[in-house]
Amino acid sequence: MQAVIRSPRNAALCAPLTTGRHIGDCLVANIPLKDLIGTELRRAGFEIAEHKDASGRTVHLPLDHWIDVGALCMLARQDPGTCLYDSDGDLVAWKGCDKPDQCTKKIITEAPCFRISYPWEFIQLNEDVLEAINESNIEGDVSPLASVEGTLILGKGSKVLPGVVIEGTVVIGDNCKIGPNAYIRGNTSIGDNCVVGNAVEIKNSVIYHHTSIAHLSYVGDSIIGSHVYLGAGTVLSNRRHDGRHHRCSVNGELINTGREKLGAIIGDGVCTGVNTSVFPARKIGRGRTTRPGAIVERDMM
């Protein structure tokens, strides 16, 4: 079986994560999306080919789709000119044609598939990938005075200091310093060379490489880009008082995220002043800063 990973449809909608970054380089469980998809395809028996080498037996899938490999194997057994749709009617892959509108046959899968249209959907994908991990792998150092209740992937050179509590499935990269007295829970991934310091709580979030959340902060259901510095006391709120789904502004349109809890989406190189408070479902663009005591009520793109 052969597969070609095609360009995404509109990666700009995933800003600020895709500001200065290809969507294939966005992290899921500390792995670039394009590498994660390639690994899953190879495990299922696919050979990854270049677009120019595609043939009538090649399966084409857009990079911004997370597709059940069983559904792709089903598509690979079909005749050339077949399109695969998910149960919501969204096109997810096709076989044997350069463009999907050249297909003459349609099949539908009930298997879990979803399109990554907006940045918060990387939180869902991170949750799904981490939930499939059921065995710890600790290459760094964990203090005997730390508590790990769940599954921990800890990279080389990383240290988990006294008083740290880790619950759920957590992936921490290389050369990180966690703690003392930090609380990490939910399905959370933290990149290489990160600092999560004293009295910091990270819940169900994605943290990119070289980011520092050093003191007295809360990060819930959020995505934090690389080389970000959150000043002491920064709080990324994640819940509406009425418990309804969050809506997020994209190109001036309010989009229902389908999430009851959603914090901030923060681009690379952002620095927040001490005691910055960010409303739920807000985006802060690449390189932006806040002053001490700032309240971020609207997107800062």
Q: Residue 72 is inside which H or E element, if any?
A: helix 69-76
pLDDT recorded at residue 168: 97
Asked whether the predicted pLDDT for residue 297 surpasses 90, the reply is yes
Mean pLDDT of the chain: 96
Strand, helix or coil for residue 81: coil
Strand, helix or coil for residue 39: helix
Do 144 and 281 lie in one domain? The reply is: yes
Do 145 and 113 lie in one domain? The reply is: no
Q: Determine, yes or no, domain membership for 61.
A: yes
Radius of gyration of the chain (CA): 20
Q: Which two tokens stand for residue 125?
A: 């994908």
pLDDT recorded at residue 125: 96
Asked whether the predicted pLDDT for residue 177 surpasses 90, the reply is yes
Among 235, 159, 224, 160, which Cα is nearest to 190's? 224
Final residue before a domain boundary, out of 87, 117, 147: 117
CATH number for the domain harbouring residue 229? 2.160.10.10
Q: What is the mean pLDDT of residues 273-290?
A: 98
Among 193, 149, 192, which Cα is nearest to 169's? 149
Asked whether the predicted pLDDT for residue 153 surpasses 90, the reply is yes
pLDDT recorded at residue 9: 78
pLDDT recorded at residue 112: 86
pLDDT recorded at residue 226: 99
> At which residue do the structure tokens 């949750």 appear?
127
Angle (deg, nearest 10), helices 69-76 and 33-43: 60
Q: State pLDDT tens for residues 5-45.
A: 999 878 999 999 999 999 999 999 999 999 999 999 999 99
**Residue 261 contacts residue 187 (beta carbons within 8 Å):** no
pLDDT recorded at residue 236: 98
pLDDT recorded at residue 113: 87
Asked whether the predicted pLDDT for residue 80 surpasses 90, the reply is yes
Domain assignment of residue 268, given as a range:
137-296
Q: Determine, yes or no, domain membership for 225.
A: yes
Query: Max Cα separation, the chain?
Result: 62
Q: Which two tokens stand for residue 161?
A: 């200091």
Rounded distance between C-alpha atoms, residue 95 and residue 69, angstroms: 14
- What share of the chain has pLDDT > 70, as a percent? 100
pTM to 2 decimal places:
0.94
Do 39 and 80 lie in one domain? The reply is: yes
The band of 114, judged by pLDDT with boundaries at 50, 70 and 90, is confident
Asked which of 124-128, 177-181, 239-243 is least confident by mean pLDDT, the reply is 239-243
Q: Determine, yes or no, domain membership for 30.
A: yes
Q: Which two tokens stand for residue 46?
A: 């696919």
Instruction: Tell me the catalytic residues.
Output: 215
Do 160 and 286 lie in one domain? The reply is: yes
